Amino acid sequence: MAARYGGEEFCVVLRDCYDLATAHQFAENLRLKFQSLRVKVRRTDQVLDTITASFGLALAEPGDNLESLLTRADDALYQAKRNGRNQVHPQAPEAALTA
């Protein structure tokens, strides 16, 4: 399920996704699809720019409510932006992706 969350922010909820590696792969595939899009001038088809996207990932944990889950995902998103944008950043250290 995908929904607009804020100005230029969207939230994607993956049901039955229980590990960061699967979520990371989904987000990376989506990021690459966005990056392949081209913004063009309608009359001339001149390419103006590409579209990039940053992603923050968080998994639901015992005791979570919607607010705590979204806060962790939002924190990870802002870390992706601080790290240079156009990337996927999990809530946990990168080592968790291979665990």
pLDDT of residue 26: 96
Strand-pair partners of 56: 89
Q: Where are the domains of the chain?
A: 2-97
CATH 3.30.70.270 fits 2-97, yes or no: yes
Q: Say if CB 73 and CB 58 are below 8 A apart.
A: yes
DSSP state at residue 59: -
pLDDT in tens, 76-98: 999 999 999 999 999 865 434 44
| Reported pTM | 0.79
Q: In terms of DSSP H, where are the helices of 20-91?
A: 20-36, 66-82
Catalytic residues, by residue number, are: 8
**Range picked from 3-7, 16-20, 54-58, 66-70 for highest mean pLDDT:** 54-58
Strand-pair partners of 12: 2
- Distance between CA atoms of 97 and 23, rounded to whole angstroms? 10
Q: Say if CB 86 and CB 54 are below 8 A apart.
A: yes
